[in-house]
Amino acid sequence: MRTPLHALAEHGQSPWVDYLSRRFVRDGDLAELVERGLAGVTSNPTIFQGAIAEGDYYDDQLREVLATETDPKEVFLAIAREDIRYACDVLRPVFDRSKDTRDGWVSLEVDPQLANDTQATIDEAARLHRMIDRPNLFVKIPGTQAGLPAIEETIASGIPVNVTLLFSLERHRSAAEAYLRGLRRLRDNGGDLRSVTSVASFFVSRVDTEADRRLDAIGGHDEIKGTLAIANAKLAYRTYEELFTGADWEELAAAGASPQRCLWASTSTKNPQYSDVLYVEELIGPQTVNTMTRETLQDFQDHGRVAYTLERDVDEARRTFDRFAAAGVDYDDVTAVLEREGVDKFAASFQKLFDEITHKRDQLVRT
């Protein structure tokens, strides 16, 4: 049966879900969504924290792991390994039939507490890659200043990377350039470019949340609220088109390289005054990914409209930047704050995850 997710794919966009839990993968919910056209999974510390906190689905494995391991991070990785591997296996048929390895990926994030430590991020990415041992694993690396050389080094090592927490056009360009440098190094060292790829997770709705908050503080300018995030993403896509065309790129592509697709992240609508599928409908275009929460995925399947929208009104997107500047909203500061807060929020979720594991351990000891 053809679904709206299939329609997205027909327009060149891969629908992924930003959710993972043992119940989700073991009870068949993920497999059912794959049948409906889902093509990938992303996860982050917040998602895992929520999954482990709900119910007793992990208790049996926790008892087993806690018999030999007490470090909460190692306990978490033992749990995550099982869920990620299972999800990779569910999506493996999608991966295998994607001739250019575009789809069928599952993402696992490096410890966000390492986001400002390049070497520790490199080491953690290699460790996760070995631990999961699946060809369709994306290791997520934050696109911070310290993360950029880690992205290059990880790609040069032949490990696929999902660059996460990208908010600004400058940082997105830098992440793409780091990917290209990594590809060249991999090629020059005799590596197989067909075995490695990347996506650039460009966060969307949070940009409007922060920009609108600043407009409210200034007063007025209601006519431009809810417009910066989509404009930002459209211009990021232009960067993608620029960097992954031309003679230099064609040389890498001839050697087996695939472009670093834009992945639209944070696409659930935060402002109830905006459409609940705004950040899906307005960013549909070829060679892109949209990773949605389960709720947004359901909303889009229920009433989403599919049309080529991503390349519409690019000049208007540029004018949107001018309007925000004229209103007194500093784009560079908006994106810098969002990157810093994003790292802090994921790090806090990781710590909360460790606390939840400790709490579960204490509960299991008493029972």
Whether 262 and 237 have beta carbons less than 8 Å apart is answered as yes
DSSP string, 172-240: HHHHHHHHHHHHHHHHHTT--GGG--EEEEEE-HHHHHHHHHHHHHH---GGGTT-HHHHHHHHHHHHH
Q: Which amino acid is residue 264, in one-letter code?
A: W
Torsion region of 354: left, alpha or beta (phi above 0 gives left; psi -120 to 50 gives alpha): alpha
Contacts (Cβ under 8 Å, ≥6 apart) of 115: 121, 142, 144, 146, 147, 165, 343, 346, 347
Q: Which of 73, 140, 234, 360 is catalytic?
A: 140
Q: 10 Å Cβ neighbour count for 316?
A: 12
Would you call 140 a catalytic residue per the annotation?
Answer: yes
| Closest C-alpha among 204, 71, 178, 196 to residue 121 | 178
The closest alpha carbon to 256, from 365, 158, 133, 357, belongs to 158
**Residues identified as active-site:** 140
